[in-house]
Amino acid sequence: MKIGVCLPHYGAAMEAHRMREFAQRVESLGFDSIWVTDHVIIPKALTIVYRERMLDPLAALSYLAGVTDRLILGTSVIILPYRNPITVAKEVASIDALSGGRVILGVASGWMEGEFRALNADFKNRGAVSDEHLRVIRELWTNLEPEFHSEHFHLSDVVFSPQPVQRPHPPIWVGGRSRRAVRRAVELGDGWHPNGLGYDDLKEAVAYMNDLSRRAGRSAPPELSTRGSVEFDERSGAFLWGSGEAMTEAINRYEGLGMTHIAVSFADAPMNQVLEDLDRFAADVLPAVR
């Protein structure tokens, strides 16, 4: 099981001058990956941690490429309908090149209707838009001279660069907890990356994903991963909670479902507290799940 950590590039913990310290601490403690998430402009009525002090995820990921040597760099997740897919493909391929091939692109179709409205993005058709954008990105990453024609994109007689270091392309993990998200992962992705889905629901969804994969003729189902919060001693709705032993037992159960990667996030708190929680998790859990 690989264990990653979500970079707190938002909320109370976000201290830009300590981003290097955080990322390098994650690397030195032996974690496998570091992750960023995506919101652009939050409706004022929503009181969520991502509303304030949030850095752009791809800008943050590019910075992380320069201050780490080994960590996988992931997005959990980029909301596909918010951006032009050609621009996303170029930015992520550039980060893959700068990092020596360490990027995982996690994507999703989004849920925050007010954010779609502020960005003049199509909320009603976000699923179809996401599918189209994924097809564009895959074409650009696998062909120096892409040829692609769809409802909204017509590419020919053009050259796309840089090509990503990873071949045929960086892994694409599809986020979301719905059956449509599972289908998108099977049809267009390399992995499925739901956020904090409970064990029983996940077990049912994995069976559905495996069945879809067989019917689609895939040689193997998408890689299974997740992102979830950590709370020591108290549950509070966290994905992993309690003692180090309890968290280790939970991780082992998820591994039994075929999960290969978990990205953990810590409570929204000042950076000093987040670093303390990071150290505690590394000491109490990481060695046991290796």
CATH number for the domain that contains residue 283: 3.20.20.30
The pLDDT of residue 290? 81
The CA-atom distances, in angstroms, between 135 and each of 73, 129, 257 are: 22, 10, 29
pLDDT digits (tens, 9 = 90+) for 204-236: 999 999 999 999 999 999 999 999 999 998 777
Report yes or no: 83 and 151 within 8 Å, Cβ to Cβ: no
Residue among 211, 157, 205, 213 at smallest CA distance from 179: 205
Give the pLDDT score at 88. Answer: 98
Give the domain range for residue 118: 2-289
pLDDT digits (tens, 9 = 90+) for 43-92: 999 989 998 999 999 999 999 999 999 999 999 999 999 999 999 999 99
Sort residue 154 into left (φ over 0), alpha (ψ -120 to 50) or beta.
beta
Count of residues making up the chain:
290
Neighbouring CB atoms inside 10 A of 28's CB total 11
Number of domains in the chain: 1
Residues of the chain with pLDDT under 50: none
Environment class of residue 83 by beta-carbon count within 10 Å: exposed (0-12), middle (13-18) or buried (19+)? middle
Confidence at residue 53, expressed as pLDDT on a 0 to 100 scale: 95
What's the confidence (pLDDT) of residue 233?
A: 80
The answer to whether the CB of 3 falls within 8 A of the CB of 287 is no
Give the model's pLDDT for residue 237: 81
Q: What is the pLDDT of residue 138?
A: 98
Angle between helices 244-256 and 271-284 (to 10 degrees): 70
pLDDT of residue 72: 98
Q: What tokens were used for 163?
A: 């090509």
Q: Is the peptide bond before 287 cis (omega within 30 degrees of 0)?
A: no
pLDDT at 283: 98
Q: Is the pTM of this model over 0.95?
A: yes
Please answer whether residues 225 and 263 qualify as being in contact, where contact means their C-beta atoms are separated by less than 8 angstroms. Answer: yes
| pLDDT on residue 1 | 96
Q: Cβ distance 169 to 182 under 8 Å?
A: no
